């Protein structure tokens, strides 16, 4: 079976990664349409040996479409997703627009693919920092039950988009050329050679939106609202790849050796953990790869039921485009897409 596919927000960093991922994984497209805002209309991108021209996104763009992979911003998704569903398409949305809606599945296929069976036309792709983390946590939760998580993230500028990548590179070049200060257009402070201890807007409780996304999304994906979670998310001058330090308190004792063995057989997870060889995952190591990598697995010396671990993944792949395409593949496998009204 082949599908008529749309990439909505095709010119952004995630949209471009979606295009590459659809091609690399040989997703069965009968046709492919690239949609974006008016300022990007006419741009051309190669796909399977042919150039595809970007078209303007309108409410009529979804006629005859089976599947929409969307990453054009939450406000755009809220406006256009209903049009896609009304036209009979299934939309896999990479924005925050629908993630916490009770009737919208929030899915990481290695963790909760069965949630797709209840979809009503919209499936939400999790936040990038959440997606890579739950792939690692799910096997531990099933085996020992997670009681509490303490999370610190070190997130690359590509999580903000292409303009942030450009800003980081521009500031780096200017500073290395002798500039004493740089212009900040995307972030409130210099990102080059710096760490910014906040991502997204601050909330009344002192946390940021990004931190609270990790709290609420992790509970929804793992299906357990009883897990206590706290997070601090930081932006670092890395172009691609999110790193996370995660402290896990389990209800049942699980040793570091047991956790390592469990994770070695977990789908989508690669254990890179040999301290004697300084072997652990890094952002550069993971760039362009599909898997989520985990290392520095050790028992928490302050908590008899605690584990410490370091989780790294390419945020544009598993954190965004790859996960969306994996959802599409699972929808196709289950016969849940391609049934237009």
pLDDT tens digits for range 29-56: 999 999 999 999 999 999 999 999 999 9
User: From edge to edge, which strands make up the β-sheet containing 306-313?
Assistant: 228-235, 146-155, 242-250, 306-313, 292-299, 269-271
d(CA 78, CA 191): 31
If you average pLDDT over every residue of the chain, what do you get?
Answer: 97
Give the 3-state secondary structure of residue 55.
strand
Contact between 121 and 90 (Cβ < 8 Å):
yes
Q: Any residues with CB less than 8 A from the CB of 50 and at least 6 apart, and which?
A: none
At the fourth CATH level, the homologous superfamily of domain 3-126+320-333 is NAD(P)-binding Rossmann-like Domain (3.40.50.720)
Domain ranges of the chain: 3-126+320-333, 130-315
- At residue 340, does pLDDT exceed 90? no
- At residue 275, does pLDDT exceed 70? yes
**What's the Cα-to-Cα distance from 104 to each of 61, 94, 97, 126, 264, rounded to whole Å?**
22, 13, 10, 12, 31
Chain centre to alpha carbon of residue 67: 19
Mean pLDDT for the stretch of residues 230-240: 98
Report which of 332, 331, 320 is spatially closest to residue 21, judged by C-alpha positions.
Answer: 320
Q: What's the confidence (pLDDT) of residue 50?
A: 96
Q: How many CA atoms lie within 13 A of 195 on its CB side?
A: 8
Contact between 67 and 30 (Cβ < 8 Å):
no
d(CA 207, CA 310): 22
Report which of 297, 260, 256 is spatially closest to residue 275, judged by C-alpha positions.
Answer: 297
What is the set of active-site residues? 128, 242
Q: How many CA atoms lie within 13 A of 308 on its CB side?
A: 9
Mean pLDDT for the stretch of residues 147-159: 98
pLDDT tens digits for range 284-322: 999 999 999 999 999 999 999 999 999 999 999 999 999
Q: What's the confidence (pLDDT) of residue 341?
A: 52
Q: What dotted CATH number matches 130-315?
A: 3.30.360.10
Percent of all residues in the chain with a pLDDT value above 70, rounded to a whole number? 99
- At residue 101, does pLDDT exceed 70? yes
Query: Is the sign of the CA dihedral 331, 105, 160, 314 positive or negative?
Result: negative
pTM, whole model, 2 decimals? Answer: 0.95
2 falls in which pLDDT band (50, 70, 90)? very high
Helix axes 128-144, 209-222, angle to 10 degrees: 40
């Amino acid at each position: 079976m082949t599908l008529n596919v749309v990439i909505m927000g095709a010119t952004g960093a995630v949209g471009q990664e979606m295009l590459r991922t659809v091609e690399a994984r040989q997703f069965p497209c009968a046709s492919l349409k690239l949609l974006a805002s008016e300022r990007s209309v006419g741009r051309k991108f190669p796909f399977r040996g042919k150039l595809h021209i970007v078209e303007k996104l309108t409410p009529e763009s979804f006629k005859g479409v089976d599947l929409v992979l969307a990453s054009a911003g939450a406000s755009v998704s809220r406006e256009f997703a209903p049009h896609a569903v009304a036209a009979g398409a299934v939309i896999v949305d990479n924005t925050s627009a629908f993630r916490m809606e009770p009737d919208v599945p929030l899915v990481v296929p290695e963790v909760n693919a069965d949630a797709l069976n209840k979809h009503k036309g919209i499936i939400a792709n999790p936040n990038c920092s959440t997606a890579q983390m739950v792939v690692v946590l799910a096997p531990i939760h099933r085996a020992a039950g997670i009681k509490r998580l303490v999370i610190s993230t070190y997130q690359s500028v590509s999580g903000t988009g292409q303009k942030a990548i450009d800003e980081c590179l521009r500031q780096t070049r200017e500073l290395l050329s002798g500039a004493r200060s740089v212009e900040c257009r995307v972030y409130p402070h210099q990102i080059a050679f710096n760490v910014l201890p906040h991502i997204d807007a601050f909330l009344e409780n002192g946390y940021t939106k990004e931190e609270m996304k990790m709290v609420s999304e992790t509970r929804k994906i793992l299906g357990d609202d009883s897990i206590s979670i706290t997070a601090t998310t930081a932006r670092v001058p890395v172009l691609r790849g999110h790193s996370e330090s995660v402290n896990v308190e389990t209800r049942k004792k699980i040793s570091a050796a047991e956790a390592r063995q469990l994770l070695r057989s977990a789908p989508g997870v690669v254990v890179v953990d040999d301290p004697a060889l300084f072997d652990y995952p890094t952002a550069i190591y993971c760039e362009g790869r599909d898997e989520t990598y985990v290392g520095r697995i050790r028992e928490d010396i302050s908590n008899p039921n605690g584990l410490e671990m370091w989780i790294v993944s390419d945020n544009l792949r598993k954190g965004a485009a790859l996960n969306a395409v994996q959802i599409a593949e699972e929808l196709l496998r289950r016969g849940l897409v391609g049934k237009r009204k």
